[in-house]
């Protein structure tokens, strides 16, 4: 049982409130005892005990009624007016107890000043010190609760967006792969059965294996290899593809379907627009928790005007957003199209994924 559940029990709440008022009375008496050294601490506490209910009424009325009903709802004028009138009432009530019980019954004294000769600032501080302490505790508690609520809401929003982005990748990738299969079936290619088999493996991965927050990096590499196999079948000898993997990949984990869109983008917006001698170079290096992933591909000599600077499909925009959500401040993404090739480079700290 956590603290919140424990404190929600009525009996526990009563015990904590009683303990607070006891400690408040003790601290207040210790402070006053410095000026009345001839009076015992217990006597001071006993005398103050009879005016403490006024402090408690003022505190609970302010904190549990005025604050939520008026201040939190930004009804500042009503809050100020009611608080002012209630404060005057509490001060007068405390003074009645002092004048007609504490002085005559406990001290055997007669007050030296008239009843309405009141030091309002001193009396206000005396009555509302506990109110300010409780209000401060309450406001700090509310502040932390609100921060926790906002963090939970933000996490839910991020998770919802990530689910949407991941769901968007799957049909996008499947659509492109089915187009490849369709082209092969039109040509009555003998490679069509192999494409169906590879496509089955890819679908199995997308449906059953990449629903977790992270997967093994080795599986993501296998996914890329399967995709490259499909593309080699599709383009035949007109395509040169090379995949280099360096470093220790065993046991390393990465967000699923994070690297494939970069490879897919190289084919869709580069290779598919070149009739021959198309080239794709893919490099993956792992050093500790650092991943460096690079994709280079040939680009057509004549290109359509691209206002964005580089033709980005849904997949590339999608994965860039996922990087921002999953690896904030722990990744570097670079794109270069200034030369004769498109080049995409990604540096990533695999251990810094947000879960």
* CATH number of domain containing 261: 3.30.565.10
Indicate the pTM of the whole model. 0.55
User: Which of these three, 151, 175, 201, is where a domain ends?
Assistant: 151
d(CA 224, CA 260): 6
Could you tell me if 251 and 267 lie in one domain?
Answer: yes
Could you tell me if 191 and 279 lie in one domain?
Answer: yes
- Whole-number pLDDT of residue 307: 46
Residue 112 tokens read as 């030296």
d(CA 167, CA 182): 23
Buried b (16+ CB within 10 A) or exposed e, 37-76: eeeeeeebbebbeebbebbbbbbebbbeebbeebbeeeee
Could you tell me if 84 and 198 lie in one domain?
Answer: no
User: Which of these three, 104, 134, 151, is where a domain ends?
Assistant: 151
Q: What is the pairing mode between strands 239-246 and 278-287? A: parallel
Could you tell me if 195 and 89 lie in one domain?
Answer: no
In contact, 17 and 52? CB cutoff 8 Å: no
Could you tell me if 135 and 163 lie in one domain?
Answer: no
Residue 50 tokens read as 């009879």
Could you tell me if 66 and 105 lie in one domain?
Answer: yes
What does each of the 355 residues of the chain score in pLDDT, given as a tens digit? 566 676 677 888 888 889 989 988 888 888 777 766 677 778 778 888 888 999 999 999 999 999 999 988 889 999 999 999 999 999 999 999 988 888 887 777 787 788 888 888 988 998 999 999 999 988 888 888 778 776 765 665 665 555 554 555 555 566 666 666 666 666 666 766 777 777 777 777 766 776 778 889 998 898 888 888 878 877 777 788 899 999 999 999 998 888 888 888 888 777 767 767 788 999 999 999 999 999 998 877 665 554 444 445 556 777 888 888 889 888 999 988 777 788 899 999 999 888 7
Could you tell me if 141 and 25 lie in one domain?
Answer: yes
- Segments in 187-241 forming alpha helices (H): 192-204, 217-235
Could you tell me if 78 and 222 lie in one domain?
Answer: no
C-alpha distance from residue 241 to each of 205, 207, 232, 297, 302 (Å): 23, 27, 8, 9, 22
C-alpha distance from residue 327 to each of 191, 320, 332, 354 (Å): 39, 10, 10, 6
In contact, 88 and 68? CB cutoff 8 Å: no
- Whole-number pLDDT of residue 155: 64
- Return the SS3 of 58: helix
The DSSP output letter for 352 is G
In contact, 306 and 253? CB cutoff 8 Å: no
Could you tell me if 298 and 319 lie in one domain?
Answer: yes
- Whole-number pLDDT of residue 309: 43
Number of domains in the chain: 2
d(CA 284, CA 216): 14
Could you tell me if 70 and 128 lie in one domain?
Answer: yes
Could you tell me if 93 and 68 lie in one domain?
Answer: yes
Q: From start to end of the chain, where are the E strands?
A: 215-216, 239-246, 253-254, 278-287, 290-298, 331-336, 341-349
CA 196, 197, 202 angle in degrees (round to 5)?
95
- Return the SS3 of 315: helix
User: Which of these three, 116, 133, 151, is where a domain ends?
Assistant: 151
Give the residue numbers spanning the domain of 66: 3-151
Could you tell me if 147 and 189 lie in one domain?
Answer: no
């Amino acid at each position: 049982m956590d603290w919140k559940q424990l404190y929600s029990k009525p009996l526990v709440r009563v015990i904590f409130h009683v303990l607070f008022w006891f400690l408040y009375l003790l601290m207040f008496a210790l402070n006053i005892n410095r000026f009345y050294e001839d009076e015992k601490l217990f006597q001071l506490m006993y005398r103050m005990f009879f005016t403490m209910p006024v402090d408690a009424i003022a505190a609970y009325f302010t904190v549990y009624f005025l604050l939520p009903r008026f201040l939190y709802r930004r009804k500042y004028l009503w809050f100020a007016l009611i608080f002012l009138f209630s404060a005057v009432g509490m001060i007068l009530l405390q003074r009645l107890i002092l004048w007609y019980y504490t002085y005559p019954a406990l001290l055997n004294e007669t007050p030296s000043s008239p009843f309405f000769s009141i030091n309002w600032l001193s009396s206000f501080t005396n009555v509302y010190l506990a109110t300010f302490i409780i209000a401060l505790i309450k406001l700090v508690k509310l502040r932390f609760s609100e921060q926790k609520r906002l963090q939970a809401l933000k996490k839910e929003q991020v998770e919802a967006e990530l689910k949407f982005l991941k769901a968007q990748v799957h049909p996008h990738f499947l659509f492109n792969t089915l187009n490849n299969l369709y082209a092969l079936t039109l040509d009555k290619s003998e490679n069509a059965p192999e494409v169906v088999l590879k496509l089955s493996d890819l679908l199995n991965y997308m449906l059953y294996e990449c629903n977790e927050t992270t997967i093994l990096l080795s599986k993501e590499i296998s996914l890329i290899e399967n995709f490259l196999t499909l593309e080699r079948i599709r383009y035949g000898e007109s395509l040169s593809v090379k995949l280099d993997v360096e470093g220790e990949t065993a046991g390393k984990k990465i967000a699923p379907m994070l690297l494939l869109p970069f490879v897919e983008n190289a084919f869709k917006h580069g290779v598919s627009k070149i009739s021959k001698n198309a080239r794709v170079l893919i490099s993956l290096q792992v050093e500790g928790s650092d991943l460096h992933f690079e994709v280079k591909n040939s680009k057509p000599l004549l290109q359509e005007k691209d206002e964005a600077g580089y033709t980005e499909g849904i997949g590339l925009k999608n994965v860039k957003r996922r990087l921002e959500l999953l690896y904030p401040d722990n990744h570097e993404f670079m794109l270069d199209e200034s030369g004769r090739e498109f080049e995409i480079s990604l540096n990533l700290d695999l251990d810094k994924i947000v879960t």
